[in-house]
Structure 1
Amino acid sequence: MKNRIAVITARGGSKRIPKKNIKEFCGEPIIAYAIKAAKESHIFDEVMVSTDSKEIAEIAQRYGAVVPFMRSKKNADDYATTEDVIMEVVDNYRRIGKEYAYVCCLYPTTPFITGDILKRAMQIMEDKKPSVVIPVVQFSYPPQRCFIIDEDGYAKFKYPQYVKTRSQDLEKEYHDAGQFYVYNAEKLFEKKGIIEDDFIPIVLPEICVQDIDTLDDWKMAELKYQVLKEQKHGLY
């Protein structure tokens, strides 16, 4: 069996939502949900948190993750990409004699992640061997019907050729759910962290996806989480 690691990327210094990665979400620090999902999947040799914050590291360890090294200053600024962080983690593990074939990157503000969806993603990775497995969600409104606003303040269709096309006849389009990525480590390094193709999606239901960039987003995510919890049939 290939060696597999879960890496939760959680730097400090959030500006729009102070201490976002450890802010309480429905009773627990939000990072705890990603840690628990990774551990409950029982598919990882290690569940670690990459952070530059001692406070985040302490909370992560309390919930069962390991923090064997802190993130470098270079990859703790606003310009470092997710792939930069993951490659740094893999390199650091290699220096201490640990090699991982598959790396699952989880974002810390994703309370909808479950162990089951992580197992599904990893199974796809091992069966198909793409560069990355990525969760996606369908656009709630057809992008082909979008408006743009001109310099005079008038709205118009960006794609007028679709004005008379029925919604059900338009091609379905999807976007990144922003929750996790399962990387093939070898291919990640071969492509120097720039993956533009060779990825396989997992389609998630809209209620299980919520960007959390503002306090309003946070409240919406909590409402969605509570609804799903009350339904008692799991998040996926």
Structure 2
Amino acid sequence: MKRLAVIPARGGSKRIPRKNIRDFAGRPIIGWSIATALDSGLFDTVMVSTDDAEIAALAEVGGASVPFLRSAATSDDHATLVQVMAEVIAAYADQGRAFDAVCCILPTAPLLTAARLIQGAEMFASGGFDSVFALVAFAAPVQRALRRDADGMASMLQPEHYASRSQDLEPAYHDAGQFYWASVETWLSGAPVFSGRAGTIVLDPMEAQDIDTEADWQLAELKHLRRTNPR
């Protein structure tokens, strides 16, 4: 089975400028995703899809290939991950290269491990799923979520659960923001990776961290430090 890893890393991050190459524990954060992909031994090719020359150069230093840059159509704020993946797959097809499975690995996933990538690969290879990705459970029941209006007034989104016990409510999960295994056909279909027969792996909250704010970044660093220095 031929496998391709695609690490999408646009240069125009708004919330945390230059997020994809900012230093994280001694290396550009994208370097952790590249290293994990390479260490897994799963992939025939580990490539970075970017529109940015600096990101491309650092990706190649880290061991990834950057055989082409993104088009303008997949470099703006509105391009979807599926569109980026489809463009990469089509570009490789033009070179006469085909793959059986394609894994999108996010560039800001420094807590991702090779073991989890391998677990996802094995689950996908079982043939029972169109895609496989990682989840984390919400820390609190989403059925008891609150809304806040412009005056600061709170109200329940689902008031019927006001008296429900937390342990009686169905657990809910969110995307861990680490990796997405899928076939070429699934990526090219244009459908979200969460649709169809989507298989999932549940991570411990210490294994993942969305990084959209400075506070998120600090939490990711603390989790990384805890993993590398468990005492």
CA distance in 2: counterparts of 1:16 and 1:156, whole angstroms = 29
Give matches, 1:102-117, under 5 Å. Answer: 102-117=101-116
SS at structure 1 position matched to 2:132: strand
Match of 1:222 in 2: 221
Match of 1:174 in 2: 173
- How far 1:149 sits from its partner (Å)? 3.1
- How far 1:166 sits from its partner (Å)? 1.4
- Aligned partners of 2:128 and 2:197 also within 8 Å: no
CA distance in 1: counterparts of 2:112 and 2:149, whole angstroms = 40
- Aligned partners of 1:87 and 1:193 also within 8 Å: no
- How far 1:218 sits from its partner (Å)? 1.1
Q: Percent identity at matched positions?
A: 43
- Aligned partners of 1:22 and 1:31 also within 8 Å: yes
SS at structure 1 position matched to 2:90: helix
**More displaced, 46-55 or 14-23?**
14-23
Match of 1:137 in 2: 136
TM-score (norm 1): 0.93
Deviations 1:92-144 (A, max 9, x none): 00011100111100111110111110000010001034221011100001001
**More displaced, 143-152 or 40-49?**
143-152
SS at structure 1 position matched to 2:177: coil
Unmatched tracts of structure 2, length 5 or more = none
CA distance in 1: counterparts of 2:2 and 2:206, whole angstroms = 32
The one-letter amino acid paired with 2:190 is K
Match of 1:207 in 2: 206
Give matches, 1:146-161, under 5 Å. Answer: 146-150=145-149, 153-161=152-160
Change (3 A) 1:101 1:169: same
CA RMSD of aligned residues (A): 1.5
CA distance in 2: counterparts of 1:176 and 1:226, whole angstroms = 22
Deviations 1:25-76 (A, max 9, x none): 0111100100010001001000000011111111111111001111111101
- Aligned partners of 1:135 and 1:177 also within 8 Å: yes
CA distance in 2: counterparts of 1:5 and 1:224, whole angstroms = 28
**More displaced, 164-173 or 28-37?**
164-173
SS at structure 2 position matched to 1:177: strand
- How far 1:228 sits from its partner (Å)? 1.4
Match of 1:45 in 2: 44
- Aligned partners of 1:112 and 1:209 also within 8 Å: yes
The reply on whether 1:56 has 2:55 as its aligned counterpart is: yes
CA distance in 2: counterparts of 1:90 and 1:129, whole angstroms = 22
The one-letter amino acid paired with 1:177 is A
TM-score (norm 2): 0.95
- How far 1:157 sits from its partner (Å)? 2.0
- Aligned partners of 1:21 and 1:109 also within 8 Å: yes
CA distance in 2: counterparts of 1:221 and 1:71, whole angstroms = 28
CA distance in 1: counterparts of 2:3 and 2:128, whole angstroms = 14
Change (3 A) 1:151 1:35: closer
The one-letter amino acid paired with 2:21 is I
CA distance in 1: counterparts of 2:69 and 2:15, whole angstroms = 23
SS at structure 2 position matched to 1:231: coil
The one-letter amino acid paired with 1:154 is M
- How far 1:153 sits from its partner (Å)? 4.4
SS at structure 1 position matched to 2:181: strand
- Aligned partners of 1:131 and 1:188 also within 8 Å: no
| Aligned residue-pair number | 230
CA distance in 2: counterparts of 1:60 and 1:167, whole angstroms = 45
Match of 1:183 in 2: 182
- How far 1:87 sits from its partner (Å)? 0.6
Match of 1:82 in 2: 81
